[in-house]
Amino acid sequence: MITNWKYLLDQMELETADNVSKAVTLSRYHDSALLYFSATMPGMLYLYNRYHPLHVAFMAGFANLESKDGAKQGKKQSVDELLVTSKDSLTEDWLPAIVQLYKKKSARYKALFPKGMLPFNTKGIDARIAAYNTLSKNMGDDVALAAIKGEVDTVYANLLETRSTQSGAKTTTSNASNDLDTLRIAAMEMQYRNLGYIMDNYFDVKDTLCPMVFDLVTLRTIPQTVFTGKTAIDIQRSILAHTFVATDTMSVKFSQNAKLYLSTTMGGIDTNAIDVRAGVKTLIKIADFWVSDYAAHRFLTIVNEGTTICYFTVTLI
């Protein structure tokens, strides 16, 4: 049996199969590099013109998935919040009223709540929703409980509708994820084809050109996630270089008050500044830097505003 020759395997596609963020990073780097070199190298203009539409489609698909995922999370939060308010109605309104009619040790009370509060406290969302329907059925046509039963039925209907909407959001997100993977594969395959073109047309300078056109560091290595060091007062020091996406986050802790910037140059301060207080572990969203081009803004800069040396720890999440 003859196995595939390793050079016929598309490393761009294989290395991003389970890491769409990595594919986004590779695509942004490659697209920007082709645009830069296309101004002076006609061959690169050819590669850019055939790659850029795939890159744009991939970025649009990625943004769409982020939007769908945000909607799904919002729906889940709505169900969780509604379950909390429903539980409040049960414990603060319905139970006191029921106890006035039927003592907790009575047969009727036990018929209403045969398992006590357990069904309303289970971990499963659907089981907790079903508990309200079960309570309504246990109430039956008891005239004394008619008003409470009406409220229980309303709560159950609201929970069921919200849960159904959430399930729809999950399906939409799943579809968007499948569509995105098709776009990812198309972009990564074109990068692989572009590599072949460069090998054929720029063979004499391939060792120099390839690292500038393809993000080989991201492609071949497991990126460093924890960065530590120190910086003197009022020094603009570059902590790290990394290609981020808007949804990335980082955790930082400094020994002195400091400002952070995501710059286009090492030690630069050409973006929105984020203040970090001394001794406070802070979670920072990359979107808070308000950068326009994540392929260009790659350098995280710290400016120590304290009174002595600032020791820092930055963790990419």
Domain locations along the chain: 14-223, 224-316
pLDDT of the residue at 317:
78
pLDDT of the residue at 54:
92
Q: Does the pLDDT at position 235 exceed 60?
A: yes
List the structure tokens of 22.
Answer: 């990595």
Q: Does the pLDDT at position 207 exceed 60?
A: yes
* Partners of 316 in the β-ladder: 250
3-state secondary structure of 84: helix
Q: How far apart are CA 162 and CA 166, in angstroms?
A: 6
Q: How confident is the model at residue 73 (pLDDT cuts 50, 70, 90)?
A: very low
Q: Does the pLDDT at position 169 exceed 60?
A: no
pLDDT, tens only, 285-316: 888 888 877 777 878 888 888 889 988 888 88
Lowest mean pLDDT among 43-57, 89-103, 175-189: 175-189
- Find, among 193, 300, 306, the residue nearest to 254 by Cα: 306
Q: Which CATH architecture has domain 224-316?
A: Sandwich (2.60)
Instruction: Give, in degrees to the nearest 5, the angle at Cα 131 between 127 and 137.
Output: 140
- Find, among 293, 64, 53, the residue nearest to 190 by Cα: 53
Q: How confident is the model at residue 70 (pLDDT cuts 50, 70, 90)?
A: very low
pLDDT of the residue at 198:
92
Helices (H), the chain: 11-15, 20-38, 42-89, 95-101, 107-112, 118-121, 125-139, 146-201, 206-213, 216-220
